[in-house]
């Protein structure tokens, strides 16, 4: 059991981390997400579920502390989903933070569900999307979500079915259940078709140093004032992630800047465009503060060029 002195040192260190994180987040400025202006580093809650995003947290008490530390540090954008757990992540968010701060933007996504063994299944008919929104509201104990992303479950081209899905979210927004509409896992064709029918507040696609296929969508969003929220900013837990975090180039840059490779990869994303909103996730406060520390890293032109020689910038990478 930690001694009283050890507990005191831990509290002092965490207080310092909170102050540093708050200062860092404030220095990055904000970007519009529906009616909210959110800080550019948020928190992705997916990792609060058990392994494979299924079941309860590994450490519920630490999950609660992580969420409270995030808010205390100035984070005002949390990304979640009812199918994380399922339901358990939203329940932890509610336990940790309810009643919610008035400036907290809680964003969810719909179009998927989990079966009894954890498989991810489509749940994307218009009435199912509505049910998904209502389930999020119930488990979070909230009257309106800041935004809801329509998460596409396949790579089909937009058509009548996409229009019907979008109409379901428009109706939910018009009724006040959600504040804004987002899209996830989409093509530019989806974005343009949606914009012809309604306002889009955010796009959430995979994007990181090793997977830049959505760069054209990011830049399109930037020109239109739409937030771009990259998921898997460090890659999947296997494969792509290793390519980023074990990159000799990033390791060398991180050593020079007294940082970690993950922080360099996140700093690169923040530096790429002002509409990029990060939602890195973690199960621990230590990693939470490390993720927020990426906002204090400034990449000069030579360092950026060094990174992009190894990870060429462009949608074909």
Decide: helix, strand or coil at residue 113.
strand
- pLDDT confidence of residue 9: 46
Q: Is 9 part of a structural domain of the chain?
A: no
- pLDDT confidence of residue 242: 74
Please tell me the distance from the alpha carbon of residue 240 to that of residue 46, in angstroms, as a whole number: 18
CA-atom Rg of the chain in angstroms: 19
Catalytic one among 43, 84, 100, 123?
Answer: 84
Q: Is 5 part of a structural domain of the chain?
A: no
Tokens representing residue 18 in the block: 């909170």
Q: Is 3 part of a structural domain of the chain?
A: no
- pLDDT confidence of residue 20: 84
Q: Is 11 part of a structural domain of the chain?
A: no
Q: Is 2 part of a structural domain of the chain?
A: no
- pLDDT confidence of residue 5: 55
Tokens representing residue 25 in the block: 């987040």
Q: What is the dihedral of CA 279, 62, 245, 38, to 10 degrees?
A: 20
Q: Are 118 and 77 in contact (CB under 8 A)?
A: no
- pLDDT confidence of residue 316: 47
Query: Per the confidence metrics, is the pTM higher than 0.95?
Result: no
Please tell me the distance from the alpha carbon of residue 86 to that of residue 37, in angstroms, as a whole number: 29
Tokens representing residue 181 in the block: 């509409």
Tally of structural domains, the chain: 1
Alpha helices in 175-280, H assignment, sequence order: 188-195, 215-224, 240-245, 248-256, 261-272
Question: pLDDT tens track of the chain, all 317 residues?
Answer: 555 554 454 555 677 888 888 888 888 999 999 999 999 999 999 999 999 999 999 999 999 999 999 999 999 999 999 999 999 999 999 999 999 999 999 999 999 999 999 999 999 999 999 999 999 999 999 999 999 999 999 888 999 999 999 999 999 999 999 999 999 999 999 999 999 999 999 999 999 999 999 999 999 999 999 999 999 999 875 544 578 999 999 999 999 999 999 999 999 999 999 999 999 999 999 999 999 999 999 999 999 999 999 999 876 44
Task: Show the domain range for 200.
Answer: 18-310
Q: Quote the distance between the C-alpha of residue 226 and its chain's center.
A: 15
Sort strands 77-79 and 43-44 into parallel, antiparallel or unpaired: parallel
Q: Are 45 and 80 in contact (CB under 8 A)?
A: yes
Q: Is 147 part of a structural domain of the chain?
A: yes
- pLDDT confidence of residue 229: 98
Sort strands 43-44 and 36-39 into parallel, antiparallel or unpaired: unpaired
Ranges assigned E (strand) in 123-270: 147-151, 181-184, 202-204, 227-228
Is the backbone of residue 42 left (phi > 0), alpha (psi -120 to 50) or beta? beta
- pLDDT confidence of residue 199: 98
Q: Is 62 part of a structural domain of the chain?
A: yes
Of 82, 79, 66, 77, the C-alpha closest to 101 is 77
- What's the CATH code of the domain at 246? 3.20.20.100
Q: At a CB cut-off of 8 Å and minimum separation 6, what does 305 contact?
A: none
- pLDDT confidence of residue 270: 98
43 assigned to active site:
no
User: C-alpha angle 184/247/50, rounded to 5°?
Assistant: 50
Q: Are 168 and 129 in contact (CB under 8 A)?
A: yes
Q: Is 103 part of a structural domain of the chain?
A: yes
């Amino acid at each position: 059991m930690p001694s009283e002195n050890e507990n005191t040192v831990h509290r002092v260190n965490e207080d310092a981390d909170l102050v540093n994180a708050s200062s860092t987040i404030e220095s990055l400025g904000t970007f519009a997400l529906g009616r909210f202006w959110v800080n550019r580093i948020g928190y992705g809650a997916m990792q609060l579920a058990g392994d494979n995003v299924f079941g309860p947290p590994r450490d519920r008490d630490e999950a609660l502390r992580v969420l409270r530390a995030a808010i205390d540090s100035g984070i005002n954008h949390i990304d979640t989903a009812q199918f994380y757990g399922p339901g358990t992540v939203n329940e932890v968010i509610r336990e940790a933070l309810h009643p919610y701060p008035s400036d907290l933007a809680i964003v969810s996504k719909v179009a998927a569900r989990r079966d009894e063994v954890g498989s991810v299944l489509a749940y994307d008919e218009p009435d199912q999307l509505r049910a998904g929104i209502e389930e999020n509201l119930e488990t979070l104990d909230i009257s309106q979500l800041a935004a809801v992303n329509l998460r596409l479950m396949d790579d089909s081209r937009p058509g009548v079915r996409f229009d019907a899905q979008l109409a379901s979210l428009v109706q939910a927004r018009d009724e006040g259940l959600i504040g804004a509409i987002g899209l996830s896992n989409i093509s530019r064709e989806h974005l343009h078709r949606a914009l012809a029918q309604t306002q889009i507040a955010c796009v959430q696609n995979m994007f990181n140093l090793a997977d830049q296929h959505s760069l054209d969508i990011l830049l399109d969003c930037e020109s239109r004032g739409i937030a771009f929220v990259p998921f898997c900013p460090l890659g999947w837990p296997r494969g792509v992630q290793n390519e980023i975090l074990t990159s000799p180039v990033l390791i060398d840059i991180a050593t020079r800047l007294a940082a970690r490779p993950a922080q360099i990869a996140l700093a690169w994303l923040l530096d790429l465009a002002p509409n990029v909103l990060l939602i890195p996730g973690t199960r621990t406060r230590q990693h939470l503060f490390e993720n927020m520390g990426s906002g204090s890293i400034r990449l000069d032109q030579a360092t950026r060029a060094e990174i992009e020689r190894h990870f060429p910038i462009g949608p074909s990478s």
